[in-house]
């Protein structure tokens, strides 16, 4: 078994995730949300502190949208899509899917990631509310 396609697929996943985070940080900064540019490269604990500090002024719905969708579900979806494309094409040598198969697969994936993003964002919002409540 050739290891190189696996490395390429995993590298594509990571690269797409980092690029998505950099693009979102730049876009969010243009809307006044001050996330550091280095946000994409931080581990969970530091990332969580920076996210809470930058988003604590947002309402619950906006917080869930930014933290759950834009900074978690969307980059995961894009990363897994890149990984899947490379894995299908170069590891398993799967024939290209028809439009109907691709559309069904993408729709299912989007729904799963939307639910995941909402659950993660709401959980993060509740955690922030507990921290803010303790500080007051």
Q: What is the pTM of this model?
A: 0.87
Averaged pLDDT, 24-44: 91
pLDDT higher for 66 or 106? 66
Mean pLDDT, the chain, rounded, equals 90
Instruction: Check residue 96 and give its pLDDT.
Output: 80
Banded pLDDT at 95 (limits 50, 70, 90): confident
Are 82 and 126 in contact, with CB atoms under 8 Å apart?
Answer: no
| CB count in 10 Å sphere of residue 120 | 18
């Amino acid at each position: 078994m050739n290891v190189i396609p696996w490395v390429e697929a995993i590298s594509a996943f990571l690269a797409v995730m980092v690029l998505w985070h950099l693009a979102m940080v730049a876009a969010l900064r243009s809307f006044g949300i001050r996330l550091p540019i280095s946000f994409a490269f931080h581990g969970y604990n530091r990332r969580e502190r920076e996210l809470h500090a930058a988003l604590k002024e947002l309402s619950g719905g906006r917080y869930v949208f930014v933290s759950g969708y834009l900074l978690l579900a969307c980059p995961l979806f894009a990363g897994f899509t890149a990984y899947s494309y490379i894995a299908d094409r170069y590891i398993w040598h799967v024939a290209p899917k028809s439009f109907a198969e691709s559309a069904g697969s993408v729709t299912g994936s989007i729904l799963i990631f939307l639910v995941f993003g909402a659950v993660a964002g709401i959980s993060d919002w509740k955690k922030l509310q507990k921290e803010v409540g303790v500080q007051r």
